[in-house]
């Protein structure tokens, strides 16, 4: 006569056999989640670089070397394209692409803060007349390389 404990040695094998498909499904779902997360990140990154290209292109088209009212056009481009848009997505940028918008933001602050206008006038004029177009061109080229 056998006791009910005789088949107890089969319990670990049954449990492992039953857990196998559950573990497989869990690993598969986790991999799918990571893949979807990567797709979303890459899509967001591409959109941010497209916005950056538009911003840099707008600066290039409106602030070419002999353009007039560079200050007004620069402020307008910053308000339309940078603040509330590109500014919030800087986590996607690295290296020089991160440095150029930071410089733009610093110069914009100098242009729009009444307390800084007189103190930084010469530096801002030099930026608008000598550096802005070149930096916008560099930004556009860098963003184009990455978005390809």
pLDDT of residue 57: 93
- pTM of the model as a whole: 0.73
- Burial code (b: 16+ CB inside 10 Å, e: under 16) for 102-128 equals eebbebbebbeeeeeeeebeeebeebb
Whole-angstrom distance, CA of residue 38 vs CA of residue 40: 5
Question: Is residue 19 included in any domain, yes or no?
Answer: no
pLDDT of residue 139: 93
pLDDT of residue 3: 64
Closest CA to 136 of 59, 54, 49: 59
Question: Is residue 90 included in any domain, yes or no?
Answer: yes
Domain count, the chain: 1
Closest CA to 74 of 86, 62, 83: 62
Question: Is residue 131 included in any domain, yes or no?
Answer: yes
Residue ranges with strand state E in the chain: none
Question: Is residue 27 included in any domain, yes or no?
Answer: no
| SS3 category, 39 | helix
Question: Is residue 16 included in any domain, yes or no?
Answer: no
Question: Is residue 39 included in any domain, yes or no?
Answer: no
Domain, as residue range, for 57: 44-147
Question: Is residue 31 included in any domain, yes or no?
Answer: no
The dihedral region occupied by 38, where left means phi > 0, alpha psi between -120 and 50, and beta the remainder, is alpha
Q: pLDDT truncated to tens, each residue of the chain (148 aa)? A: 456 666 777 777 777 887 888 888 888 888 888 888 888 888 888 888 899 999 999 999 998 888 889 999 999 999 999 998 998 898 888 888 889 999 999 999 988 887 777 777 788 889 999 999 999 999 999 888 876 6
Question: Is residue 18 included in any domain, yes or no?
Answer: no
pLDDT of residue 134: 94
- Burial code (b: 16+ CB inside 10 Å, e: under 16) for 34-55 equals eeeeeeeeeeebeebbebbbbb
Closest CA to 142 of 53, 65, 74, 45: 53
Rg over CA atoms, the chain: 28
């Amino acid at each position: 006569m056998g006791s009910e404990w005789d088949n107890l040695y089969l319990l670990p094998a049954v449990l492992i056999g039953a857990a196998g498909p559950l573990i497989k499904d869990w690993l598969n779902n986790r991999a799918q989640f990571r893949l979807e997360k990567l797709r979303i990140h890459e899509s967001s990154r591409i959109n941010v670089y497209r916005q950056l290209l538009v911003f840099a292109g707008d600066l290039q088209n409106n602030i070419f070397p002999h353009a007039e009212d560079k200050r007004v056009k620069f402020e307008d481009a910053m308000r339309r394209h940078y603040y509330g848009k590109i500014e919030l997505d800087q986590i996607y940028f690295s290296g020089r692409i991160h440095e150029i918008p930071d410089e733009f933001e610093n110069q914009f602050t100098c242009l729009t803060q009444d307390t800084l206008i007189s103190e930084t006038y010469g530096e801002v004029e030099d930026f608008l007349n000598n550096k802005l177009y070149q930096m916008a061109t560099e930004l556009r080229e860098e963003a184009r390389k990455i978005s390809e």
